Structure 1
Amino acid sequence: MRRIIGSAFMSVDGVIQAPGGPHEDETGGFAYGGWVAPHWDATLEKHLGALFAAPYELLLGYRTYEIFAAYWPYAPADNPIGAAFNQTAKHVLTHRSTPLGWANSHRLADIDAIRALKAGKGPDLLIQGSGSLYPQLLAAGLIDRFTLMTFPITLGRGRRLFGDGMPAKGLRLVAQEASASGVIVAVYEPAGEVEARAFAEEPPSAAELDRRARWAREG
């Protein structure tokens, strides 16, 4: 069985749109593309190097696939990430019938297809970008580990990793490091369901009971 390993660049307010460049994804009027480069340093280089060191295949959403397919096949031949991405298998979750023209690209119809792919033999499946995959994969219990690189900025708008569709799940922090430029690199693994409880089990006051009832009425 393979592992599914995710990684994402994220702002403090959860935006993952267009980290790589100004024209990567301008949908919705997003004007801050390229917010990763000003904070790039040796710590991030180290973590990305470790992520790509072991054999892997890519697991992508269609939007990220389109961005990658328009860039990496045309990157300089001596770019090691480009060479690896071009050679490895790309598994793309999409309902579109548009041809997948990037070499070694394969279409996945649904979450069951990802489950079957994970259950088979082969290297780890590495998610890059592809924020739309996480709610489905977390809900299905298919994510084994993911690395969040949180940059010291707020973007205010744009595609977010953690939206209303994200399932409630517990996470275990297994590694963390802060870069010199202020980026927090945190590695998480799933840890079952969310635990919730009060700090103290004291009888609520009449005012508290009234507040609860009022908020329930008001929605």
Structure 2
Amino acid sequence: MRKIIVGAMVSMDGVMQAPGGPTEDPTQGFKFGGWVMPYFEQEFGEEVDRLFSEKFDLLLGRKTYEIFAAYWPYYDEDARDGGIAKHFNEVKKYAVSRSGAVDTSWQGSVLLRDVADVKRLKQEDGPNLVTQGSTELVHALLANDLVDEMTLFTVPVVLGGGKKLFADGSAPHSYKLTRSRISSNGLVIAHYERGGEIKIGDTALDKPSKAEEARRERMKREG
């Protein structure tokens, strides 16, 4: 069985839209495309390399697949930082598209039509499946309880709006922090592996006050 690892660059308010440049995804009036790039320095690059250091296949939503397919095959693999291009061009790419309206001519690309296809793929033997971007796909993976690990690059900016990593409806789970790193410019890189059920506690007084009893009754009425 394969693991699904979500790799995501997120702002402090959870936005992951268009980290790489202004033309990447300006939909819904997003004005801050490229917000990650000023924070791309040594620690960032080392941790990106680490994310892709083991054998992997890419698992991408249609829009992110199209961004990658229009970029990485044309990137100079002999450049100083061209190793990631070489990886992406060589590995298998799974593009998930409900409509099927995607050009999978990029070498090693395979079309998947829905989350059911992803579930079947996860059950097979093979390298880990690593996502990048792909907001809608990640929402579906989380909702269907398919995510095993997450590597989050949290950038110290608040963007105020945009496509976010998490949406309501994710399967509830705890996660264990297995490694972390903070760069000199405030970027926080954290790797999480799936834990168990969510644990809860209670700070309530042994005997609630009358004010607390009234507050609880009000909450019941307010739904």
TM over 0.5: yes
Q: Does 1:80 align with 2:63?
A: no
2:39 aligns with 39
Q: Look up the SS of the partner of 1:217 in the other structure.
A: helix
Report the alpha carbon displacement of residue 180 of structure 1 after superposing the two structures with TM: 0.6
* Structure 1: gaps (5+ residues): none
- 1:125-136 equivalences under 5 Å are 125-136=129-140
Following the alignment from structure 2 to structure 1, what is the Cα–Cα distance between the partners of residues 54 and 61?
A: 22
Report the alpha carbon displacement of residue 59 of structure 1 after superposing the two structures with TM: 0.5
Does structure 2 retain, via aligned residues, the 8 Å contact 1:134–1:166? no
1:142 aligns with 146
Q: Look up the SS of the partner of 2:130 in the other structure.
A: strand
Q: Look up the SS of the partner of 2:52 in the other structure.
A: helix
> How large is the RMSD of aligned CA atoms in angstroms?
1.6
2:159 aligns with 155
- 1:1-219 equivalences under 5 Å are 1-78=1-78, 79-98=82-101, 99-200=103-204, 202-219=206-223
The letter for the 1-side match of 2:115 is I
Q: Look up the SS of the partner of 2:135 in the other structure.
A: coil
Report the alpha carbon displacement of residue 112 of structure 1 after superposing the two structures with TM: 2.4
Q: Look up the SS of the partner of 1:159 in the other structure.
A: coil
Say if 1:159 and 1:175 are closer, same or farther in 2 by CA, change over 3 A. Answer: same
Report the alpha carbon displacement of residue 131 of structure 1 after superposing the two structures with TM: 2.3
Following the alignment from structure 1 to structure 2, what is the Cα–Cα distance between the partners of residues 156 and 138?
A: 23
Say if 1:44 and 1:170 are closer, same or farther in 2 by CA, change over 3 A. Answer: same
Identity percentage of aligned residues: 43
1:117-144 alpha-carbon deviations (Å, 9 max, x no partner) = 1221221111111122333323433222
Return 195-204 or 169-178, whichever deviates more: 195-204
List 4+ stretches of structure 1 deviating above 4 A.
Answer: none
Following the alignment from structure 1 to structure 2, what is the Cα–Cα distance between the partners of residues 77 and 46?
A: 17
Report the alpha carbon displacement of residue 153 of structure 1 after superposing the two structures with TM: 0.4
Aligned residues: 219
Q: Look up the SS of the partner of 1:127 in the other structure.
A: strand
TM-score, normalised to structure 1, is: 0.92
1:127-166 alpha-carbon deviations (Å, 9 max, x no partner) = 1111223333234332221101100100001000022233
1:10-31 alpha-carbon deviations (Å, 9 max, x no partner) = 0000000000011111011111
Q: Look up the SS of the partner of 1:53 in the other structure.
A: coil
Following the alignment from structure 1 to structure 2, what is the Cα–Cα distance between the partners of residues 108 and 208?
A: 52
Report the alpha carbon displacement of residue 201 of structure 1 after superposing the two structures with TM: 5.1
TM-score, normalised to structure 2, is: 0.91
Q: Look up the SS of the partner of 1:112 in the other structure.
A: helix
Report the alpha carbon displacement of residue 179 of structure 1 after superposing the two structures with TM: 0.6
